[in-house]
Amino acid sequence: MNLTFEKASARENFLKKNFSRLKKDREYISRFYYGLGRDWFKLGDFKKAKRYFWQAFLSWPLRRIDCLFEIIGVNIEAGQYGYTALRRNSALKKIIKNQRVLIIGSGTSANELKYIPSDVKILTCNVGPRILLYKGINKVIDLYYCVPGVIEGDHKNENVIDLVLRFKINLFIYPAKWIKSFIDIKKTCVKCIKDHGFNDYYLNKIMGPLKTEEIKRSFLSNNRTSSGVRLLQYALYSQAKEIFLLGIDINEEGYFWGRKNIHEHLSIDKDFIEFVSHKYNNIYSASRKSPIMRYVKYKPLL
């Protein structure tokens, strides 16, 4: 059975709801903590993994040596793959700062794409490049971001690797370990850097730590925004001049290729967009029909 964020979150929620009963068996609760640590480690959330390994360490003495080895492993992994590498990397600002950017998601409004001006930087994610093929737009993708599962999970049969290889990509941002096996990606990309999407660095910089914690409490366990909203974080943090959103529909209408297997967006996306719509006046919807119009104004991409 493939591990997913939803499955790990479900186990986490089970623990929260049944904690008073489970904690009576110290050995069992320790195994449960340990298992959650392994799950989040595999999914790339090193912060959560370490926390659960420490809880396993403290709850059952016989588990302590195993937990210490796991904690050391998490620290090595986090350092090796640059868990917060983006904050130290100037690659984002070189592409985005003082530029007009178009963020293309997978929502139905992406079908309205007709033309991309030459001075606009293209930021997209996951299967977003497919709309460029549909529309016959042959341009360099300035920034491409994907998450675990896009290549080896739910979208495995959608040939995402083949899709990405059709484009020159200036900056490829990806989670961590699994990408190492796809050597061809590095041949078509000018620069590759890593970001799990779990760290709150950009949220804290844009919203402040208190507001970040507030919107994170509004949902359960998955402490990250969707990929398209992550791109919006990059654009705001990197001081884009103008930000146009297309296909960032908070998934209310399905995808630009249909309504199959719609993934529900968590409230953190809406909360973040609502917050930044009041703080920044340079975010626009490039579609008059997108649900994002509830938060930002329309401006044509000219």
pLDDT value of position 19: 87
Residue length, the chain?
A: 302
pLDDT over threshold 70, residue 13: yes
Question: CA separation (Å) from 35 to 14, 49, 108, 153?
Answer: 13, 9, 38, 21
Amino acid in the structure at residue 242: E
Distance CA 291, CA 228 (A): 14
Question: How would you label 18-46 residue by residue, b for 16+ Cβ within 10 Å and e otherwise?
Answer: eeeebeeeeeebbebbbebbbbbbebbbb
The answer to whether residue 1 scores a pLDDT higher than 90 is no
Q: Per-residue pLDDT tens for 217-274? A: 554 445 578 889 999 999 999 999 999 999 998 866 677 776 555 555 567 888 889 9
Q: What is the pLDDT of residue 179?
A: 58
Tokens in use for 65? 């040596």
Q: Are strands 283-285 and 297-298 parallel, antiparallel or unpaired?
A: parallel
User: What pLDDT is recorded for position 65?
Assistant: 76
Residue 9, pLDDT score? 80
Q: Does residue 58 have a pLDDT over 80?
A: yes
Give the pLDDT confidence score for residue 221 in this predicted structure.
Answer: 44
* Residue-wise pLDDT tens digits, 146-198: 876 666 555 454 577 788 888 999 998 887 555 555 666 767 888 877 776 66
Lowest mean pLDDT among 43-57, 62-76, 101-115, 220-234: 62-76
Q: What is the amino acid identity at position 137?
A: I
pLDDT(142) > 90: yes
Q: Report pLDDT digits (tens) over 59-93.
A: 876 667 777 777 777 776 665 544 455 555 788 99
Domain residue ranges in the chain: 5-80, 85-298
Q: Is the pTM of this model over 0.85?
A: no
pLDDT for residue 118: 95
pLDDT of residue 220: 45
Looking at residue 258, what is its pLDDT?
A: 66
- Is residue 167 within 8 A of residue 294, CB to CB? The reply is no
pLDDT value of position 30: 85
For residue 47, pLDDT beyond 60: yes
pLDDT of residue 183: 61
Task: Give the span between the Cα atoms of 297 and 299, in whole angstroms.
Answer: 7
So what's the pLDDT on residue 157?
44
Average pLDDT on 207-226 reads: 66
CATH class entry, domain 85-298: alpha beta
- Taking each helix axis as running N to C, give the angle between helix 267-279 and helix 209-216, from 0 to 180 degrees, rounded to the nearest 10: 150
Q: Which residue has the higher pLDDT, 290 or 186?
A: 290
Q: Angle at the Cα of 275 (from 270 to 277), degrees rounded to 5?
A: 95
Q: Is 229 helix (H, G, I), strand (E, B) or coil?
A: helix
Residue 239 pLDDT:
94
Q: What is the pLDDT of residue 26?
A: 80
Which residue carries 């070189």 as its tokens? Answer: 94
User: Whole-number mean pLDDT of the chain?
Assistant: 81
DSSP notation for 241-268: SEEEEES--TTSS-BTTBSTTPPPPPHH
